[in-house]
Amino acid sequence: MLKEIRYEYYESVDSTNDRIKARARDGEMQGLVISAGQQTAGKGRIGRKWESPSHESIATSLLLQPAEIDIEAVPTVTVIAAMAVRDAISRLYGIDGLIKWPNDIVFDGKKICGILTEMEMKEGKVWYVVVGIGVNVHNRNFPEDIAFKATSVDLELEKHQDKNGQKLGHRSELTKAIWESFKKYYNIFIETQDMTGLKEEYERYLANRGNRVRIEAQDNSYQATAKGIDNHGALIVDVDGEERIINTGEVSVRGIYGYV
């Protein structure tokens, strides 16, 4: 169970995930959050890079030091973190994103958030888990290679100015709201170590549900229809009438006509 959350903030770090890992190895306990104004080596999944320019975005990581999470349940933590970010943005700003399975939140087909969950084992058990979340907040310009598929809280709020006035995102307020939402979802998840109590809400916001998608694995790529998720948070797809389960890992799911 996740109870108290303790916040630390640094102007600049290599990666907030790596800072949490170092602290976990030094014996730090569950509930520590490290956030940074800037990351010099922000990481995406499988060696990809995460852009976190100075004071424009949120880079924040939480330590779960859980003898309480089974190894099979670790990927589900990413799925509930996505729910938490979606929920926090919706509660604070009244704008509703969708979840692009497994780890992105998207608005109008553009990515506003990425999540990287990492873990370390000790004596055959999960020793600790780090949940790292990056959210674009004040970003207005992105590097050329991601400009077509990235957005930020401020850019999305601007689109709804009639409803919100001149409202802008606020990094520390949003960071706290995200981890409060995460705590709520995590404590539901940990009771069963699966999505039993959360699946319905997740599927409500699942981008591409019922649509054709392209599954891009390392050595092959094929089309399927996205159906929903199973109790572990894996994606259920239909391939020519046959159901297949797609686990997180080295797989990307794309829409047929673009990124989402």
Query: Residues in the site for ligand BT5, rule: CB under 6 A?
Result: 15-17, 39, 42-45, 48-52, 59-61, 103-104, 111, 114-116, 132-134, 136, 146, 150
Cβ of residue 89: shortest distance to ligand BT5, in angstroms? Answer: 14
- Which CB, 159 or 196, lies closer to ligand BT5? 159
Number of Cβ atoms within 10 Å of the Cβ of 37 = 18
Cβ of residue 38: shortest distance to ligand BT5, in angstroms? Answer: 11
Cβ of residue 113: shortest distance to ligand BT5, in angstroms? Answer: 8
Cβ contact 81:115 at 8 Å: yes
User: Both ends of the chain: CA-CA distance in Å?
Assistant: 34
Consecutive H or E run containing 212: strand 212-216
Amino acid at 148: F
Residue with nearest beta carbon to ligand BT5 = 114
Cβ of residue 241: shortest distance to ligand BT5, in angstroms? Answer: 30
- Which CB, 60 or 65, lies closer to ligand BT5? 60
- Which CB, 132 or 169, lies closer to ligand BT5? 132
Cβ of residue 234: shortest distance to ligand BT5, in angstroms? Answer: 16
Cβ contact 62:20 at 8 Å: yes
3-state secondary structure of 115: strand
- Which CB, 43 or 176, lies closer to ligand BT5? 43
| R_g over Cα of the chain | 18
Q: What whole-number distance in Å separates Cα of residue 253 and Cα of residue 224?
A: 10
- Which CB, 61 or 181, lies closer to ligand BT5? 61
Non-local CB neighbours of 162 within 8 Å, separated by 6+ positions: none
